[in-house]
Amino acid sequence: MRDGRAVSNRAAQGSNTRVPPNASFVDGVATKDCIIDPATGVAIRIFLPHHCLGVSDAAGSKGFGWLPRDHTAPGDEESLRSSLELSDGSSVGSSNGNSDNEKLLALEEALKFSGGYFPASKQEHVKLPVIVQFHGGAFVSGSKDSSSNDVFCRRIAKACKCIVIAVGYRLAPDNKFPAPRDDGIFTLKWLAKQGNLAAFPATAVSHGIIESFGQMPADPWISAHVDYSRCALMGIGAGGTIAEQVSQACVSLKLELEPLKVVSQVLIYPLLGGSTPLPSEISLADAYFLDREMLALAWSWFLPEEHLAVASSIDPRSSSRSSILSKMPSTLVISAELDMLRDRAAAYVQALKMVSVDASFLTYRNAVHGFATIDCFLDTKLAQACVEDIAIWFAKHVKCDYWG
């Protein structure tokens, strides 16, 4: 268990404030929003870490923000570039041959556009793993761009050296199950199509080679920097439920997602169903931030009557799940000691282990439901420790570099 402190009301009050996107590398991460399904209004926020430029953590942490030219004070641009450190430890301004010149050109390209970063068209781009993330909020609240989710995704992007795609899935009660899960599936299919689009030269569009993809444009950030062989799902609270359901769908529906490969999932205090209460669901029934009454409401908001069996279908102890569980990706489940969902999460990990799935379980001492994102808003040590633990786990299971 990790030691930590409980969250405060002050964090909860500010956690749902919307944060606008910024396509410059502010604090080492650029963000932008995309509507991927006009029919349903489903949108995503892309978090692109500065590692995509091939620069070191030291360069990205200087706080210059990789501002576009018209946001840089006169005379500052040259000093900015000369002060940046390349990934090999040398200065951008130093003369170490063609490699440095190529990186300098890439940096200049990043600074060139007033709208923020745009990948250079004629260069080898750094490829990064991608995390598809689902925010929390009891199925009825929260957003991809809330203050708490924005801070959390930025930290994950930098710590894991991954691109994070936060999904703005449709919310209950207006959009009950399976709508949020289907939005997650749609996001994976959209990402897979982006990979197929990136595999064709630009002229292929005009020649009708990829007409089957419709009018979908290739996103430049995704096309340039996503490593489609390393995709992970991540969910927080109710978002953990959705992430797990999307993982199930990948198995049970045999989704065709080439070239995208879902290799792992991280579920942070997920809501998992079951008809028989477990010990923590009894002893912590009146716990802070999530109690028995709120949990019952969340399920009633999320599940229409004809789908009430879904709650039982995600019961980790259900014997009917073994065939699906055995095909699930490597899994990290994070829980809080003072969260009523703790024992259900532990049972899920145990069920995965029983069918030989690589699964890990972390519980944080003295923490309550919501600590990873609301504490993150307050910049506490507990939330930072959670992100670090996720990064260490990702370094092993998604083969990405740990920043620490």
Task: Give the model confidence (pLDDT) of 350-359 as tens digits.
Answer: 999 999 999 9
Average confidence (pLDDT) over 120-128: 80
Binning pLDDT at 50, 70 and 90, where does residue 61 land? very low
Asked if 354 and 321 touch (Cβ cutoff 8 Å), the reply is no
**Residue 81 predicted with pLDDT over 50:** no
Query: For residue 93, what pLDDT is reported?
Result: 39
C-alpha distances out from residue 282 to 244, 301, 347, Å: 24, 22, 15
Average confidence (pLDDT) over 141-163: 96
**Higher-confidence residue: 352 or 4?**
352
Which range has the worst mean pLDDT, 120-134, 197-211, 287-301, 366-380?
A: 197-211
**Residue 270 predicted with pLDDT over 80:** yes
Lateral strand order in the sheet of 163-168: 29-37, 42-49, 163-168, 128-134, 226-236, 262-268, 330-336, 359-364
Q: How far apart are CA 162 and CA 144, in angstroms?
A: 17
Query: For residue 216, what pLDDT is reported?
Result: 66
Query: For residue 1, what pLDDT is reported?
Result: 57
Q: What average pLDDT is seen over the chain?
A: 80
Q: How far apart are CA 349 and CA 361, in angstroms?
A: 7
Query: For residue 88, what pLDDT is reported?
Result: 41
Q: Which of 358, 362, 330, 368 is nearest to 346 (CA)?
A: 362
Asked if 159 and 179 touch (Cβ cutoff 8 Å), the reply is no
> What is the domain partition of the chain in residue ranges?
9-54+126-397, 64-112
Name the residue with tokens 């009301």: 9
Q: How far apart are CA 358 and CA 360, in angstroms?
A: 7
**Higher-confidence residue: 311 or 188?**
188
The three-state secondary structure class of 294 is helix
**Higher-confidence residue: 37 or 104?**
37
Asked if 137 and 166 touch (Cβ cutoff 8 Å), the reply is no
Count of helix runs (H) and strand runs (E) in the chain: 16, 8
Query: For residue 273, what pLDDT is reported?
Result: 82
Binning pLDDT at 50, 70 and 90, where does residue 73 land? very low
Which range has the worst mean pLDDT, 261-265, 266-270, 321-325?
A: 321-325
Query: For residue 125, what pLDDT is reported?
Result: 87
Binning pLDDT at 50, 70 and 90, where does residue 74 land? very low
Q: How far apart are CA 240 and CA 372, in angstroms?
A: 13
The three-state secondary structure class of 42 is strand
Q: How far apart are CA 336 and CA 2, in angstroms?
A: 9
Average confidence (pLDDT) over 301-329: 73
Beta bridge pairs of residue 236: 268
To 10 degrees, the CA torsion angle through 75, 78, 84, 88?
180
Average confidence (pLDDT) over 26-43: 94
**Token representation of residue 249:** 């769908």
**Residue 108 predicted with pLDDT over 70:** no
Which range has the worst mean pLDDT, 73-77, 305-309, 333-337?
A: 73-77
Query: For residue 312, what pLDDT is reported?
Result: 54
- Among 18-32, 207-221, 296-310, the range with the most confident prediction by mean pLDDT is 18-32
Average confidence (pLDDT) over 367-372: 93
Query: For residue 215, what pLDDT is reported?
Result: 58
Binning pLDDT at 50, 70 and 90, where does residue 338 land? very high
Which range has the worst mean pLDDT, 257-271, 304-318, 319-333?
A: 304-318
Asked if 262 and 232 touch (Cβ cutoff 8 Å), the reply is yes
Residue 75 zone, left/alpha/beta (φ > 0; ψ -120 to 50; rest)? left
Q: How far apart are CA 43 and CA 157, in angstroms?
A: 19
Which range has the worst mean pLDDT, 52-66, 270-284, 323-337?
A: 52-66
- DSSP alpha helices (H): ranges in 167-271? 179-198, 203-206, 220-225, 238-252
Query: For residue 274, what pLDDT is reported?
Result: 78
Q: Under CATH, which architecture does the 9-54+126-397 domain have?
A: 3-Layer(aba) Sandwich (3.40)
